[in-house]
Structure 1
Amino acid sequence: MHRAVDLTPAGHPRLPLLLKNLGLMLLDRSISAGCLWGLKKAIAHYMSAATCGYGPPSIRLQSARLWAGLTYKYDPDSPQTLTAFDTAIQLMSLIASLGHTVQHRHTLLQDVSDLPGKAAAAGCSLGRADKALEWLEQGRCLVWTQLSNLRTQLAGLPTHNEGLAQRVLDVSRQLENAGSRQESHIDMSESEKISAEDEARAHLELAAEWNELLNTVRSTIPGFENFLQPSPCSTLLQHLPDTGPIVVISVHEERCDAIALIAGLDEPFHIPLLNFTYKKAKTYSNALSALLVQKELRMRAGEMNMDDEEDTRIGLTGRVARPSVDNPLRDGVVVRNILGALWKEVVKPILDALGFSRLESSSETDFPRIWWCPTGPVSFLPLHAAGIYRGKDSDNILNYAVSSYTPSVAVLADRVKNDRPIDRDVSGLFLTSQPEVPNLPKISGTTKEVRLIHAKVVEHGVRVLNLEGNDVTVDTALEHMERFSSIHLACHASQDQNDPLQSRFRFHDGPLELSTIIRKNLKNADLAFLSACQTSTGKEELSEEVVHLAAGMLAAGYRRVVATMWAIGDKHAPDVATDFYDYLLAQRVEADGSGFDGSKSAYALHHAIQQLRQRLDNSEKSLLAWIPYVHFGF
């Protein structure tokens, strides 16, 4: 292997692979012999492969992961540790931009999905919460950030310089395909050596052109100064909401941490979560998922009677192992115990560290807001409902703050940075219900829901349009989404977790796909209320990509989205919706004219949920009725 490396010319696209393989060989020997010298040589070869500037980015990424992991494990205080993780995260971003399809990008990302979390854990352990934040931002939500042009990714280039964008794409694909030949460099003939040297020179020229293209993009395209580079923490801190903190929750097998971003502070506020673990997060997530499957809460409830006798078999059944007697997630109290654990181990420690105080619902003081940005398995847990719901110690997050979610800090910061009034000509609300879509369960409650909302909105003189069933087609719905700043979709929805752009809302005449919505120029998009099922449910294997409809609607341009984590029932959905709009309409001022303002939507949802809670008890069934409603965005 040493000879193969020595015989391979500098610049040859297969050199990074040979260096990586040599590093693996030396690592195996050093482990078996306990040889520190071999370990250091292995790390050096991984570093050379990762930073050589040519060869397939996928091979360089594999090398960078090994370089970062070994350096952090055996010499964490080395300056190389931060450099290694920086390199790995940058290559991860590059890999995501090289695929031809969303499915391919997600397949590549699935193989390295643990990298951002590991990097963040290392950053927090080394006292560099700023680097942890940068790495999480650069290594997560890559596909959405490409599509929405919220960060400096390849997908946004054509709108600025189509020729430059095409050349960047062409060169990146050539770099990925380079080195696919499996020739050996040992015992080459003279002509073969010349051919290899020619190939190496050609690849060096390609790599040089790639670097030149990156420099051109970064120096000439406004907003692309950090193209394929991590956004520095200082940039992320420039545009934060002034009504409450953003709290990023990082979970990894090594440690769990919260990173709070607060307007006015010039650095992140690090909160170690000492009583929380990755294993706990997985346990809670798996238990909740199994319960939802058992309770058939994976689609809008339709004609199902949500007032039927409570199923006493509320625990885990079927193929899922039943918890032992001393398991805190025992039968009958799965939801309450998950919420209680999240409260004690995650949410309350964060609120205490940030100085939040309990407020009464009748208080004249506006509740502060808090934006949750969970990662890993915490992405599937209801942080917005964390609390203790029975006994003398009863308390919950709703007594302290109004919760929202954001897929990433950059998504929310972009909304804050570009916040502006909606054009008066399009300010208004478009409503539609789709109660009887062919081959899907009937959901009659959607008709009642939109009619009640429509009547209330008309009373306030707001510009509004309501079209039901086959009165609206997919094409006309898209037209109305351009003509009205806010939308309310009461319908079935389905998420394609392998290709999120094919996720869709089900209309009578066919599917309204997310890809179609994103292609529209929705520059005045404000609020999207998705009164459908599990519109904020992601895919476990791609938790860092936040693959769900709510995130997709943010990528399409909507500033705020109301969505659901699981099925909502026809009994409660109309009440939640009408209470929600009652609150928004009560906040209107004369200057609004006939327009519709969704900027208070987080408070409106908080109000609507509190109203629903007053009509319910704290049983498992009742908790499952109100917890699924979530707010995303500004």
Structure 2
Amino acid sequence: MFASNHPHAIHLHQNLARSLQMMYIKQQTIEDLNAAIAHFETCLTISPEGHPDLPLALIFLASCRHMRAKAGKDDDGFRNALLLLSKASEKMPEAHPWFFSIYHLYTTIFEDYYSLTKDASFLEKAFQYHQLACSAPGIHTWDQLTAALCWRTDANKFHHTSALEAYKTSLKLLDRHVIATPTVFGRCKALLEGILRDTPSLAADATACAISAGNLELAVELSEQGRGLLWSQMSRFRVTINDLRVVDDEGRRLVDEFELLSTELGRRQSDSPAIRPATATLRRTQQEEEARQYRQTSSQWDAVVSKIRQKQGFAYFLTPMPFKELRAAAVAGPIVIINASIKRCDAIIITKDGPPRLIPLPDASLGGIAALSGDFRNVLRNTAGVGEEKMREKQLIPVFRRLWDAVLAPVVEVLLTIVSKGSRVWWCPTSKLTSLPIHAAGPYRKGASNMPNIYISSYTPTLSALIRSRRQNASKVASNTPSFVSIGQSKPNSGSREKELKAVGAELELVKSLVPASMTCSEVSGDEGTVSGAIQALKTNSWVHLACHGKQDFLQPFDSSFALRDKPLRLSDIIQAEPENPEFAFLSACHTAVGDKKAPDEVIHLAAGMQFSGFRGVIGTMWAVDDNTARHMVKEFYEAMFSGKVDCTNAARALNKASKAVDKDKVPMDQRVVFIHIGA
């Protein structure tokens, strides 16, 4: 075949053997596997002692021997594969990136060996190597995360006691991987097109695992850690980095080091050498150098982060909030996390005092909730025509009733022992529940109260988001005279392909007439209703009413936008605006509080962007708004909002009152509950 003294004989045998191994994996022809083994054995025979590619040949041969042992249920074959891996480890320098491949292969061999022999010691060894793979030296976080997710999958498969630790490790590495991605758009792509596409229920399943283990505080922490990653990390960067810069000279130096190393780490993150075979000595040495540089940069980054955490007030920098900090979100009323996992469905009630309270939801399932969400969307889509309002209401009521029976009724029963009717409650739904109007659920039976008559409902994407909404930024001194601006656009740019909104002008006039004299009031509309005009208004006014077309972009969530005269006002523009003293925003536009169906727990929508930008309270919409009827809700809302002291935290109560006070002959049911309140 190849002369043993040929300068590339080792690599030629190795590449041919790998091709044959791949053919076996695809076609399961044992002759291909035997031929692959023969070529790998030749590699070992002709390789001089100390050849740098020898460990790789041993790893590949171990993999093939394992495959043959599994196919033939050959005890000796398993032992031989394990022996080959041991030899490969002995021939590799410390912290070599190929250790990742060895650990990963060990887990597979030991699990298959356990399945053959039922020897529990083999299973324990498999999970020891799962844990080692997650912290293998010189390995990028993507590979570590992949290993952790394999650990989680196998722990569930074998019902192993390490499942909870696997989930904790997975979420920790997910957080680290996203942090190491240098741009917001890169992080969004890494989440929506990569990690969460394949594991959308990671946070919910981790939470369910902690609940099953009886650790409710950890369940809350894991739920928080795994959802809203983009907003949480952006907030941690923005607030902490800005605060650290002004502490002292060391703070500024640490920020500069952190940003420099984060950029370098992100650059090195893009190409992982962990399990890619080296086809030539040059390529192998390049991989080893890449791993060494990555390891060095990662260590430097860890050291800087450690120094930042030693600064007073920065102990939780880039770490998930512990429960004792998260419970502060419930200072004004209970928060209900509703966790929907394939494992189980539960609600957790968090109050400012006492431990979290668990309410199992035995009548709810992830599949049932997904079906309910689909039925809800179908009703809205199939009854959207003029004159179909009564039909739509008739079809919505059974959906609201099913949501109540399966999810809300058990929760409300417990809530009523904690807070009385008419109190404020914050809902923190997960998974497909984020697309369902929890605030509108109810039995819809004679003599029974529905949710709007039981509690004043608000939503929060995460507990930390609600904490941020309540926190006053000391660097932004509140104005003595709150300012109100109405931003409207009835005729958006032609590129938007949106029809003219006939009622926007009347809505803006109505809002202007309802703003109290104690507030300065201005308007940005018509030819002035441009992106630059809107951004300037957002920057300089504390209260904002925005009336125009809204668009949710599911492919590029940060391109979700409001349609203005010259071009779209994108979510990314709003994030970068950094308003001076934001208080409250009313988004009278379609689809401003709708997230990505594939990654609903990330809550990337226009209302969330306004909240992240600093607005303490935001009213958004869960589906399409009829601009002819929206003004009736707007009128009732602002009349209730400004009936007493001007306070943005009264918005949820005013919205609840408006939904009940509005003329039901003029405003159909779906338009009375389309608006939701987010924040404080």
- TM-score tier, shorter chain, comes to 0.7 to 0.9
What is the TM-score of this pair, normalised by structure 1?
0.84
Match of 2:463 in 1: 409
Once the 2 structures are TM-superposed, how far is the Cα of residue 496 of structure 1 from its aligned partner?
2.0
Between the aligned partners of 1:31 and 1:576, the Cα distance in structure 2 is 63
Task: Tell whether 2:178 aligns with 1:124.
Answer: no
SS in 2 for 1:529: strand
Match of 2:507 in 1: 449
Give 2:432's aligned amino acid: P
Match of 2:604 in 1: 547
Once the 2 structures are TM-superposed, how far is the Cα of residue 177 of structure 1 from its aligned partner?
2.7
Match of 2:423 in 1: 368
Give 1:344's aligned amino acid: D
- 1:33-88 residue CA offsets vs partner (Å, 9 max, x unmatched): 65534332221211101133540211111221232343455455x4x444332211
Give 1:450's aligned amino acid: L
Match of 2:572 in 1: 515
Between the aligned partners of 2:211 and 2:426, the Cα distance in structure 1 is 20
- Contact 2:180–2:265 (CA<8 Å) still a contact in 1? no
Q: How does 1:335-354 map to 2 (within 5 A)?
A: 335-354=396-415
Match of 1:325 in 2: none
Match of 2:173 in 1: 91
Distance 1:14 1:495, change over 3 A: farther
- Contact 2:180–2:269 (CA<8 Å) still a contact in 1? no
Structure 1: 5+ residue stretches without partners: 297-303, 315-331, 361-366, 589-595
- Contact 2:458–2:676 (CA<8 Å) still a contact in 1? yes
Match of 1:475 in 2: 532
- Contact 1:373–1:406 (CA<8 Å) still a contact in 2? yes
Match of 2:51 in 1: none
Match of 2:321 in 1: 231
SS in 2 for 1:488: strand
Q: How does 1:160-199 map to 2 (within 5 A)?
A: 161-175=255-269, 177-179=271-273, 182-183=276-277
**Number of corresponding residues:** 580
Question: Is 391-400 or 252-261 further displaced after alignment?
Answer: 391-400
Match of 2:545 in 1: 488
SS in 1 for 2:97: coil
Distance 1:24 1:344, change over 3 A: same
- Contact 2:140–2:294 (CA<8 Å) still a contact in 1? no
Give 2:470's aligned amino acid: V
Task: Tell whether 2:675 aligns with 1:626.
Answer: no
Once the 2 structures are TM-superposed, how far is the Cα of residue 495 of structure 1 from its aligned partner?
1.8
Once the 2 structures are TM-superposed, how far is the Cα of residue 396 of structure 1 from its aligned partner?
0.9
Between the aligned partners of 1:477 and 1:403, the Cα distance in structure 2 is 29
- 1:527-556 residue CA offsets vs partner (Å, 9 max, x unmatched): 110000011111111111112111111111
Kindly indicate whether structure 1 or structure 2 has the higher relative contact order, using CA contacts under 8 Å at least 6 residues apart.
Answer: 1
- Contact 2:101–2:275 (CA<8 Å) still a contact in 1? no
Once the 2 structures are TM-superposed, how far is the Cα of residue 234 of structure 1 from its aligned partner?
1.2
Distance 1:577 1:564, change over 3 A: same
Q: Which has more radius of gyration?
A: 2
SS in 1 for 2:337: strand
For the aligned residue pairs, the C-alpha RMSD in angstroms reads 3.1
Give 1:505's aligned amino acid: F
What is the TM-score of this pair, normalised by structure 2?
0.78
* More helix per residue: 2
- 1:16-49 residue CA offsets vs partner (Å, 9 max, x unmatched): 2442243234334544665534332221211101
Question: Is 334-343 or 486-495 further displaced after alignment?
Answer: 334-343
Distance 1:252 1:155, change over 3 A: farther
- Contact 1:485–1:526 (CA<8 Å) still a contact in 2? yes
- Contact 1:245–1:370 (CA<8 Å) still a contact in 2? yes
Task: Tell whether 2:107 aligns with 1:23.
Answer: yes
Q: How does 1:553-572 map to 2 (within 5 A)?
A: 553-572=610-629
- Contact 1:426–1:524 (CA<8 Å) still a contact in 2? no
Match of 2:81 in 1: none
Distance 1:495 1:194, change over 3 A: closer
Distance 1:109 1:547, change over 3 A: farther
Match of 1:399 in 2: 453
Identical aligned residues as a percent: 26
Distance 1:150 1:449, change over 3 A: farther
SS in 2 for 1:586: coil
Between the aligned partners of 1:198 and 1:309, the Cα distance in structure 2 is 67
Match of 2:226 in 1: 139
Give 2:232's aligned amino acid: T
Between the aligned partners of 1:426 and 1:27, the Cα distance in structure 2 is 68
Q: Among residues 343, 360, 376, which one is paired with 1:272 in the alignment? A: 360
Give 1:216's aligned amino acid: K
